[in-house]
Structure 1
């Protein structure tokens, strides 16, 4: 037999139950901050005291956030920019705060995951910092303060573009509706995605078994995590019966998407709590399925992280799953796809479906999930459609 792999110090053992004692499985000791996190289940005074987002109105100088579409901190990159723009303490801070987002993980690169985004994708953060501090600390008139506040990379066409704000001004928030003949299970099913209100069977169902969770395949991660991050082929996950797959017709024209992405899901479960996981996927003519955005919602937090409320079993609720944001041009010949399931493990811990306090359950139960798509309960994803950007913007930090 092969020798047992040594336990990696500090890595939470994700299958440990109850999760609140995973520190003992990971490091053989109680880790106080981990215990504190588990005890403070919702957004309370403990979290408010350490959240930067409670203090945007104290920021008196311009801020530059910098991140990647596949970075685990993408939400913070966007929130930091938007928060100072809206609430900064001075007009200068609000006006000159900037944001750059590339097709990266936690740091700039040309290739990430399966995809080489071209030489222009690579940026030098150091060069950008020198210009930023040169102006704001040394008074150099290098023009960085006059650049548009938002610079983002559009995947699909591999092109940078400047914008005057985030979300992009003039965005058309467009619903794409989930529909099927009642069997959207896996990519072999009959799930459809279109701009038309749903017709056909009223719902799709699947069983979510926490002992057999859908495996993490790409997505937003960083910093030595044991899962592979970035854009990855989703077809192995989409072969599972507990993953609902909704795919558009082949596109005739490009569909440029840039901004926040949200899934409005009408759904029920037979327990007091469960999770909803969603991915926005770009399907290539070859069949390759590239994830471009992902989101997760623990159902008890459907009214907000500070308003925890369990479900009534088998009652239909409308859930808003936040897929954070992206910038991707779905090209002619491609298809737009939405995947819906209830696990993404070990990127996210498994919901045991018991409704117990977080981290205390010593058991799991199989949940029966139903996704509705009728005229009265039209589950849909809202895509932020923008004008197709032109040639690459000029940027002295691009390295070109």
Structure 2
């Protein structure tokens, strides 16, 4: 046991957390270290932080793969110790001082189960354990949540979803900004060039499946799987860790506290994870969705009053939850709490959304491009899509590269949108001015009837709110290829110049449109680097080395299915 002091760099944050919570009853007695053996003999470096009174305490376990975050985790999570918990932070295999080889995600199930087998035998914990963590640390909990010993009474799952394929691909379109940036940031390869610069360089390499070899001098097996396994039906997604993760929520039997953000790239996967929980688990669990991104901030150019419901780094909410489930304190919560953007308020519900109540706006081009309450006369709108000049990403939720400044990622959150009126490949459709505040709760669905002269292409949609001053702010966006249209699991052929119906299911939101505003839908064929640039050729996207210009057509009016469906 040795003494422990918070890194002075984080003392200000520590004081903020202290001010958000009841007075501490304990001090940190010290920190001890252990090398915990896994089933294959590899030892993982583990730190134990104890209160200064007592011999055994309720215990909180965190498994962390990011050694550069160790000081930050200590500064924030040791607040648990000062409130009467023993804190255990373990470095994942191949990271920090832990032995073994770093292979993202692969070993976390076996290592997590082995770590808990060790933990329940330790005298410093009193038989009441919780698992806690954000992002990857949350994954290390999800992946063992169906195999927990009786000593684990609850888990706190912050900013991680269970549908890896659904987060990586949207209708066949790969999310570059999230997973290419993450791959280069976590490659484990030492380079003389900043990883952010390598990421930016990788975006222009054709074929893209050669980017890691050209820039890092080696291939990244996990990334090659990401960019080559485009079908959900492939063995990669149907077997192994990601298939296992998707099956775990329905097997959980203890209370769960889930946290997500409307501007986090795990949003859709977290909703799926919550929906898969058993009803009896939902009734004793809590799901909170706020106007947050992947580090818990409220990004973009809008303000979100009273957004800090859970406290810095969720410590306030976690303490309240753990005091109930590990210490037996009284307390109740509504199952669902979410922040409604535009109304600036928290709402509580028993279920997530009521998708049965919807309203529609129809794409119209008669006499001008509009969104109308009823279908208009049939018409077409045409544009040319050139992959060498994609529409740049500006705002959104499915983004991550921003988290690392040197990566110069696309800006995220809800932002004032650029004026793309000079681009012939961005079709703009505006609704009438709203005569009352109007709520959107859930996932917006966009149906388009389209055609192209290519064997495959993409169509993208962005939904915005335009305020009386003319500023347009993005609400949600989505995209689809034709070969993977309508969320199908395997590609289907498309016959050039033949109309096809595509349905784009946007990620969920809770938004209140303001009286005096109007809705804008922008239709195009790209949103880069949020998604890869579609080459307009039929071959797998990561192996193509050529671009083709495509002539696109959108069909509107009463003979066609081109509309937006909004959930109330």
Q: State the TM-score, normalized to the length of structure 1.
A: 0.85
> Paired residue for 1:47, among 214, 223, 237?
237
Tell me the CA shift for residue 123 of structure 1: 3.7
Which residue number corresponds to residue 372 of structure 2?
194
Q: Distance in 1 between matches of 2:258 and 2:479?
A: 23
Which residue number corresponds to residue 133 of structure 1?
322
Which residue number corresponds to residue 396 of structure 2?
219
Tell me, what secondary structure is at the counterpart of 1:215?
coil
Per-residue CA shift, 1:116-166, capped at 9, x if unaligned? Answer: 2224456422211222222233332221xxx22221111111111111112
Which residue number corresponds to residue 322 of structure 1?
505
Q: Structure 1 residues 45 and 6 mapped into 2: Cα distance closer, same or farther (>3 Å)?
A: closer
What 5-or-longer segments of structure 1 have no aligned partner?
183-189, 386-400
Q: Structure 1 residues 205 and 162 mapped into 2: Cα distance closer, same or farther (>3 Å)?
A: same
Tell me, what secondary structure is at the counterpart of 2:315?
helix
Q: Distance in 1 between matches of 2:296 and 2:351?
A: 22
What 5-or-longer segments of structure 2 have no aligned partner?
1-192
Q: Distance in 2 between matches of 1:162 and 1:238?
A: 40
Q: Distance in 2 between matches of 1:45 and 1:237?
A: 41
Which residue number corresponds to residue 18 of structure 1?
207
Which residue number corresponds to residue 393 of structure 1?
none
Which residue number corresponds to residue 117 of structure 1?
304
Q: Distance in 2 between matches of 1:281 and 1:211?
A: 25
Which residue number corresponds to residue 228 of structure 1?
411
> Paired residue for 1:275, among 452, 455, 458?
458
Tell me the CA shift for residue 249 of structure 1: 1.1
Q: Structure 1 residues 378 and 106 mapped into 2: Cα distance closer, same or farther (>3 Å)?
A: same
1:99 matches 2:287: yes
Tell me the CA shift for residue 195 of structure 1: 1.6
Tell me the CA shift for residue 310 of structure 1: 2.6
Larger helix proportion, structure 1 or 2? 2
Tell me, what secondary structure is at the counterpart of 2:541?
coil
1:158 matches 2:351: no
CA RMSD of aligned residues (A): 2.1
Tell me the CA shift for residue 7 of structure 1: 6.1
Per-residue CA shift, 1:62-101, capped at 9, x if unaligned? Answer: 32221111111111121111121xxx3xx53132233211
Q: Is the 8 A contact 1:63 1:81 kept in 2?
A: no
Which residue number corresponds to residue 357 of structure 1?
540
Tell me the CA shift for residue 337 of structure 1: 1.2
The equivalences for 1:1-400 within 5 A come to 8=196, 11=199, 13-43=202-232, 44-48=234-238, 49-51=240-242, 52-84=245-277, 88=278, 91-109=279-297, 111-120=298-307, 123-124=310-311, 125-143=314-332, 147-168=333-354, 172-181=357-366, 190-199=368-377, 202-220=379-397, 221-222=399-400, 223-224=403-404, 226-237=409-420, 239-385=422-568
Q: Is the 8 A contact 1:275 1:342 kept in 2?
A: yes
Q: Is the 8 A contact 1:263 1:382 kept in 2?
A: yes
Q: State the TM-score, normalized to the length of structure 2.
A: 0.61
Bigger-Rg structure (1/2): 2
Per-residue CA shift, 1:233-287, capped at 9, x if unaligned? Answer: 1133454221111111111111111111110111111112111211110101111
Q: Is the 8 A contact 1:217 1:228 kept in 2?
A: yes
Per-residue CA shift, 1:195-219, capped at 9, x if unaligned? Answer: 21123x5111111111000000011
Q: Distance in 1 between matches of 2:309 and 2:249?
A: 30
Q: Comparing 206-215 with 8-17, which one deviates more in the overlay?
A: 8-17
Tell me the CA shift for residue 305 of structure 1: 4.5
Which residue number corresponds to residue 398 of structure 1?
none
Aligned positions, number: 363
Higher relative contact order structure (alpha carbons within 8 Å, sequence separation ≥ 6) = 1
Q: Is the 8 A contact 1:269 1:313 kept in 2?
A: yes
